[in-house]
Structure 1
């Protein structure tokens, strides 16, 4: 997710600025990145709950390859504040334009869906809303409060935009006390101009660090995609930067271009390389590292949250 810098956003066709040269090679997917089409009964039931509550999921909007697996288990990542984003990342398939007004009923609708699905852990993300004075911070907080009221035993993970130039927004979200605060760096800093134009790498790092300063009990999390053209040493430096910001959990997954108009896949990283990143990350001090070709920010989020708590408890016991 990237920031549009101090300019009015005019309506435009879907991602025309993301087109790459037609002579650019499109790499063939290796066997390890292929998934089956979703056809299960559980998938259909989850889809019906999402439709009946008129909700948007990032699973659909971002074309996540894990949607069949997750929805079959009644896991979904809800995307709040509409389906139109004020930013235009070169990797993202969410529509760009001028969003509509916030839905005042959405917090309760999300909470109702969480209850219907019987979720023990839920992930809430959003489009970027640079048009709002607080970037949507209060709406995030309202969703968290509604879920807490309806399903008090459910743990809540949020995946937020960067709230760039939104003074006080982060404090509003943190005060609502999500269990996990996730903000993705997405890629290494050398690729920000092409992949996250307008975003600020060190601002995102500072956002994550500030969460820990405001409430050390909240787990912090960030993720990146690989295969965009980054070098291995850049990924290792990014890991160090996240640890300097006291981030607990890192995810690393293979970038898959949604269409030929998006940033192209430069390389398919092998499963062995992903395993190496996981090993290195653990030695650097992360409580948890999820690294595989199909890893996404909210993939296995509930299981990972249990692992996070166990890892923190073990670390505290060692210090006692």
Structure 2
């Protein structure tokens, strides 16, 4: 892509003000200093293109190519992308946040399978909606090990909350829920060929139960069609109603995820007023106590919103105290001009520091990096093994409890029978 600079060749083209001035008209008549309109003068257009090609060929940086000039994102003109200085108050992205899209990703069988399945069924994924830079890693995965994953968003594309960091559309009266969505999602997951899926949701405060029943139907339908699938649900706080939280926690989930998003001090400025730092902690803590630690809980923190080092450390402590086992930390990037601006870009070494501190605090899993998102590589080996270990431990615990109960019952019945026999014998002897 071209650097932000004024093209010396283009700068020779006269402005409207120059042509309108008496001197400009005189120069135009004489052919001095002012080039003719390229649209009307075919010869000038050919000269312009020839000089433009020569400038491209003589470029020594290797960054300015004809392909880079032509292949612009949809809706972006060459002038918007290449010409002019940065606007006041905007900082250029640091080098560690600039990445090239891996070549050949779109040709991977698994990547294509996931993309085609989602588009055919008109289902939304956070991966594409948020233009996630990690889509190649997550959708591509490992063909042999099956570490591919995708994040499906259910309950529509309109959220009733207006968090200032999020680009999801907001509406007080979003469209009604699609009753066929659970089956559509289950069919799509089956076609993907993945063994780990992340299902997220928009907040639906317009619904009495916040959409908890719909989430449970989606989870049940997915698991019925894909019994061996590991399913992570990234859900909202359901108005802080712990009964609704229990309803979702009782479904056949593998991971219960709820994002705390940022440190406590800046929460009112970052999240919707109906969400709160303490409410999110309460939800996560209740899931752990309600499931007696059998459910793996997960949360995420964004950096670059004005937080301080000690505040991030305290947030990690709060999450660990609430029983959260897995945590991710990533860089906040402004998704649109109407959203919160980035206060700073945290260095990769800082993310490495937080990962080390999180593991030292007792977290079983931590993914921390500038481009890490809450569902980043959710299906990788370690977190999958944790889920399976928790499931095996819960099964063993239930089996032990059942065996103990049976043994106790048998012993009690035997003792009662023995006592009855002794009593009967004494009665007979007395007679």
Under TM normalisation by the shorter chain, which class is it? 0.7 to 0.9
Match of 2:307 in 1: 230
> Structure 1 residues 311, 273: closer, same or farther in 2, change over 3 A?
farther
Match of 1:192 in 2: 267
Alpha-carbon contact 2:113-2:191 (below 8 Å) kept: no
Aligned partners of 2:198, 2:316: CA distance in 1, in Å? 23
Superposed, which structure 2 residues align to 1:123-134 within 5 Å? Answer: 123-134=198-209
- 1:51 matches 2:123: no
Partner secondary structure for residue 246 of structure 1: coil
Question: C-alpha deviations, 1:262-306, integer Å up to 9, x for none?
Answer: 111111111111000001011111111111111111111011422
Alpha-carbon contact 1:180-1:220 (below 8 Å) kept: yes
Shift, 1:162, TM fit: 1.0
Aligned partners of 2:368, 2:116: CA distance in 1, in Å? 31
Aligned partners of 1:142, 1:271: CA distance in 2, in Å? 40
Structure 1 range deviating more: 118-127 or 166-175: 166-175
TM-score w.r.t. the length of structure 2 is 0.65
Aligned partners of 2:224, 2:390: CA distance in 1, in Å? 27
Question: C-alpha deviations, 1:114-156, integer Å up to 9, x for none?
Answer: 1101111110001110011111111111111011110100011
Question: C-alpha deviations, 1:88-131, integer Å up to 9, x for none?
Answer: 11111100012111111111111111110111111000111001
Match of 2:95 in 1: 31
Structure 1 range deviating more: 239-248 or 60-69: 60-69
Alpha-carbon contact 2:124-2:153 (below 8 Å) kept: yes
Aligned partners of 1:156, 1:167: CA distance in 2, in Å? 21
Higher helix share: 2
The number of aligned residues is 294
- Could you list the structure 1 runs, at least 4 aligned residues long, displaced by more than 4 angstroms after superposition: 309-313
Q: 1:66 aligns with which of 134, 141, 152?
A: 134
Partner secondary structure for residue 122 of structure 1: strand
- 1:104 matches 2:156: no
Aligned partners of 2:240, 2:323: CA distance in 1, in Å? 23
Structure 2, unaligned runs of 5 or more: 1-86, 142-147, 395-431
Match of 2:220 in 1: 145
Structure 1, unaligned runs of 5 or more: 1-22
> Structure 1 residues 310, 278: closer, same or farther in 2, change over 3 A?
farther
Aligned partners of 2:326, 2:240: CA distance in 1, in Å? 26
Superposed, which structure 2 residues align to 1:303-318 within 5 Å? Answer: 303=380, 304-309=382-387
Match of 1:8 in 2: none
Aligned partners of 2:240, 2:352: CA distance in 1, in Å? 37
- 1:220 matches 2:297: yes
Shift, 1:167, TM fit: 5.5
Shift, 1:165, TM fit: 4.7
Question: Which is higher, the Rg of structure 1 or of structure 2?
Answer: 2
Aligned partners of 2:231, 2:384: CA distance in 1, in Å? 12
Aligned partners of 1:197, 1:53: CA distance in 2, in Å? 31
Q: Does 1 or 2 have the higher relative contact order (CA < 8 Å, sep 6+)?
A: 1
RMSD of aligned residue pairs (Cα, Å): 2.2
- 1:202 matches 2:268: no
Aligned partners of 1:59, 1:165: CA distance in 2, in Å? 27
